[in-house]
Structure 1
């Protein structure tokens, strides 16, 4: 686990599927802004997908042909949202010392 002031986990993987990291002290760099934009898009997409899932699953008998693509899309969205959460969690300042 990296500290909040070290490497930023980016919201995409390298060609080999391994995580990509950014080392910068400029949170407004071009690559940082691109990562922020993609994280925002991932979160918005997950929100829309959740609405779609609620609609599909709200039917008494959802069509089986709709369930597999929904499950795949939800899996992808959850993976992306967890990556955003991990990246943002690493960038939070450390908690203040708690008194003993």
Structure 2
């Protein structure tokens, strides 16, 4: 069984504070968080494709650029949160592996 760790969730509380889940990563909320992260990453990728098309057309309006900038900013915030969460979990797993390797065999 995996040791429980604190996971940064891909959403915030109503007052904007970070939400964390302490679990082994196999429960319902962890699966919901995984699904939300995947959706956030897919949305960001779609926005990048939309931006590339918009810029290639060279016929954008200032309103289109402003909307795109707002949406890309929101997506970047979400992707950054996913990266922080996943990075922290990778560091924890690497640390746990190092500790197991350093422990004498019984």
TM-score, length basis structure 2? 0.80
Name the counterpart of 2:55: 57
Q: Distance in 2 between matches of 1:60 and 1:76?
A: 23
> What is residue 84 of structure 1 aligned with on the other side?
82
TM-superposed deviation, 1:89: 0.4
**Structure number having the greater helix percentage:** 2
Contact 1:5 1:91 in 2 (8 A): no
Q: 1:5 offset after TM fit, Å? A: 5.5
In structure 2, what is the equivalent of residue 8 of structure 1?
7
Residue 48 (structure 1) aligns with = 46
Change (3 A) 1:49 1:70: same
Q: Deviations over 1:59-86 (max 9, x none)?
A: 2342212000000000000000000010
Question: CA-atom RMSD, angstroms?
Answer: 1.9
Conservation of the 8 A alpha-carbon contact between 2:9 and 2:18: yes
How far is 1:6 from its partner?
A: 2.5
Q: What CA distance in whole angstroms lies between the structure 2 residues aligned with 1:89 and 1:5?
A: 16
1:63-82 correspondence runs (5 A)? 63-82=61-80
Moved over 4 A (4+): none
Q: Mark the runs of 5 or more structure 2 residues left unpaired by the alignment.
A: 100-106
Q: Over residues 13-66 of structure 1, what are the superposed CA-to-partner deviations in whole Å (9 max), with x where a residue is unaligned?
A: 0011000000112x1100000000000000000111110011111223422120
Q: Give the alignment's TM-score, normalised by structure 1.
A: 0.85
